[in-house]
Structure 1
Amino acid sequence: MDYKKISDIDNLLTPFWDDNGYAYEESFLPLLKEGQTADEDLVVSLLYDACEIISVTTATRLEVMEQGKDYFLRDGKLVIPASSAIRRMMWDEYHIVGEKEAQAVFGFTGGGKIFFGEGDTMHSRQYLVTYKHCKAWDGYVPAVEASKLPKTKARLKNGEGFTFCWYGDSITTGANSSGTIGSEPFIPMFPELVTIKLQEKYGCDINYINNAMGGATSQWGVDNFDRLYNGLKPDLMFIGYGMNDGNLDPVEVVKNIKTIVKKTLEISPDCEFLICATTVPNVLAAGFFGLQDKHQPYLKALCDELGDRAALVPITSVHLSLLSKKNFYDMSGNNVNHPNDFLARAHAQTILAQII
């Protein structure tokens, strides 16, 4: 894979759960809560209590905000005053009721419609904060089984090239990373971030193939496998379905994933697998949230059944842990089911933890 060197790739891919006290470009949407008025301070939810704010910028990095004027630190929290140049969103713009409902797409749980948009709709309203913190991460840490993926690890250690295939839904296509939507700072989608990092670290040439499709279910993955992988021989396969399988019994989801694994081994008997448990959709987006948060244990059991050739990428647990500290809209690219750059980076960090 040819790539453009990313100057801050180490910062982008340092695990948020082990960042040595330096939280880099954590995203947030400056949304006033229900009942808050425009003249009130906005307190932003952060993953850690901050002891020093390094910077606050727009998500594009093109505008740098001024400390003491646009924001300040209070009791470990980032506070945005009413006079700030930071563009704050009122609750009635997020929870849409009345005449404007007809122009909105997704329902809001309990009534009304929810703020939603593809492209840079969320990206243009979000901000990034870089800060120092003094306490260690107290949330979920992805488990790593050192015995997994031995062939991939040997290839990397020896600097050997290999074919890395990605198969999944819109999340794996890169929606809504800034590089995908064509907006500053053009951070690549997480499959590309992972591939770039591995090539940089090990000096190997990776044949990168991404056959993910927006809106795809795990059944779509089964039905389209033969067509998409005809003539290919994957050495490492990432499988990431589930977001669009919210109404499907987890047993059936895993059955489909197992079929994809079986089909892959028929064309490439030595292939290894990264099997990803999906993020969850916005619980406030009516009708979308289903059984997505129930898939992970079943996928873990499948990985155990497959032995050292399959490693679980536990994104469900990672996302739920992040959601215990931040709001869904702080790290979503469309406010319903797509990640923004920050959450896409968390995907890459979790995947790399299973490989490096």
Structure 2
Amino acid sequence: MKNKILFPISILLNLVFLIAAVYFVNKIGYESLSFNLYGPAGGNGTEINALYKTADKNPVSEVSHGIRMDIQGESLVLAATNPGKLSFDSLISNSVIVRSKYQRFNEESVVYEEGVDYTVDYNTGEIRRTENSNIPDYATHVLYGLKDFDHRKFPDYTNHPFFVWVDYVTKNGASFAQPNDQSKFLSKFREKLVEGTPVTIVSYGNSITAGGEASSNELRFQYLYGDYLRSKFPNANLKIEDTSISGYTSSQGIKWWSTYIGKTTPDLVLLGWGMNDHNIGSNSPEQYKQNLIQLVEMVREEKKAEVIIYSTFPPNDEWHYGSHSMEKFAQAAKEAALEANCAYVDVYSTWMKVLERKDQSSLLGNNINHPNDFGHWLYAQAFEAMTF
């Protein structure tokens, strides 16, 4: 008899609690909850470098669709009152925060006001500037709307003054980087990470690898990847060095080997060429492939180190100097890794996944061929998706 009385009372109490919780969230708004959980944008605190966090804290490189994801610092440029698409739709009501700085706890960050500076379509995951918005209007950018543009004719073509950085929660999240099993490679490197033996990762590539458009060293993709490895291997004793040559191709990577990477003592080398090889009048995909194979051989013979080849993303489709065939160079990088029998990271597919919804300019620091901070994070996600 007692159980029969307690059961309906328990149900009633649960319903009251649920109604109160819903009322509380609606009353104070999601921004207030976010403020309490993460602190104010522009307030004092530790910088948050990790953008995507799932409810169960699994890395986003795992295969997943339709999951709830808390996203921080996704980049957009917004032109006039045209919509800018986020990576996902089905946003949680009132979860959107739009700010002027990538790093959340930046004292100079401006938090824009929904309904005053921008509007949100929570179903489609689109944001628009209002007519009198304080958000910089990307329609005033010197390259906006231009076809086949020659950037050399314009004194200032950077996108940095126009970026906004968006925090939001989606009910329809999905992994950008697909799982990438490279476990037959990098065994020596893994062993050193596990044991805590000092190891050095040396990156060797073009201006992207050199950190082009990243706002700090800590936000460059190889340094983000280093942080990830330290979290995965608690005993890891690793350092990162970069010997990249901005503005050049894999051919110069071979020619100037001794001047740059030749002076280092790596345990693992990240080979990241391709963007400049892809330019009009530069290397063919086949020559690029052969150059990568030669570079792998040089690393093994002269440095006795292990290697990761990684692809890159397509530059702005309207840039005059791109051959606009990056898919061929990405395939060449993959084939080079297969023939050289080394590990491969597929940045290209990760980037193309993002471009299913987003426009290129929202990812490009120089609006041509350099990733912004969010773009460097995407590189890191491709690396983190690799298991070894």
TM-score, normalization by structure 1? 0.81
Inter-partner Cα distance in structure 1 for 2:203 and 2:346: 16
Q: Could you tell me which amino acid in structure 2 is paired with residue 122 of structure 1?
A: N
1:345 aligns with 2:384: no
Indicate conservation of the 8 Å contact 1:174/1:189, yes or no. Answer: yes
Q: Tell me the equivalent position of 1:196.
A: 227
Indicate conservation of the 8 Å contact 2:224/2:380, yes or no. Answer: yes
Q: Could you tell me which amino acid in structure 2 is paired with residue 73 of structure 1?
A: V
Match of 1:153 among 190, 210, 213: 190
Inter-partner Cα distance in structure 1 for 2:224 and 2:46: 9
Question: Closer, same or farther in 2 for the Cα pair 1:229/1:171, shift >3 Å?
Answer: closer
Question: Closer, same or farther in 2 for the Cα pair 1:154/1:142, shift >3 Å?
Answer: same
Query: 1:259-291: per-residue Cα shift (whole Å, max 9, x none)?
Result: 11111111233x211101111110111122443
Q: Tell me the equivalent position of 2:167.
A: 130
Match of 1:27 among 72, 75, 98: 75
Indicate conservation of the 8 Å contact 1:51/1:131, yes or no. Answer: yes
Identity of aligned residues (%): 24
| Count of residue pairs brought into register by the alignment | 323
Q: Secondary structure at the match of 2:266?
A: coil
Query: 1:176-220: per-residue Cα shift (whole Å, max 9, x none)?
Result: 01116xxxxxx5321222223323543422232210011020001
Q: Secondary structure at the match of 1:21?
A: strand
Inter-partner Cα distance in structure 1 for 2:175 and 2:161: 31
Inter-partner Cα distance in structure 2 for 1:30 and 1:322: 17
Match of 1:264 among 299, 303, 306: 299
Q: Tell me the equivalent position of 1:79.
A: 128
TM alignment of 1:245-324, pairs within 5 A: 245-246=277-278, 247-269=282-304, 271-307=305-341, 310-324=342-356
Q: Could you tell me which amino acid in structure 1 is paired with residue 88 of structure 2?
A: Y
Q: Secondary structure at the match of 1:42?
A: coil
Q: Tell me the equivalent position of 1:164.
A: 201
Inter-partner Cα distance in structure 2 for 1:109 and 1:159: 51
Gaps of 5+ in 1: 33-40, 98-107, 181-186
- Structure with max Cα Rg: 2
Q: Secondary structure at the match of 1:51?
A: coil
Gaps of 5+ in 2: 1-44, 54-58
Query: 1:99-141: per-residue Cα shift (whole Å, max 9, x none)?
Result: xxxxxxxxx32899997847xx322210011111111428663
Question: Closer, same or farther in 2 for the Cα pair 1:136/1:263, shift >3 Å?
Answer: same
Indicate conservation of the 8 Å contact 1:281/1:289, yes or no. Answer: no
Q: Tell me the equivalent position of 1:211.
A: 243
More off after superposition, 255-264 vs 83-92: 83-92
TM-score, normalization by structure 2? 0.75
Inter-partner Cα distance in structure 2 for 1:205 and 1:241: 27
Indicate conservation of the 8 Å contact 1:194/1:352, yes or no. Answer: yes
Q: Root-mean-square deviation (CA), in Å? A: 2.9
Question: Closer, same or farther in 2 for the Cα pair 1:209/1:293, shift >3 Å?
Answer: same
Q: Could you tell me which amino acid in structure 1 is paired with residue 137 of structure 2?
A: R
Q: Could you tell me which amino acid in structure 2 is paired with residue 190 of structure 1?
A: F
Q: Could you tell me which amino acid in structure 2 is paired with residue 109 of structure 1?
A: D
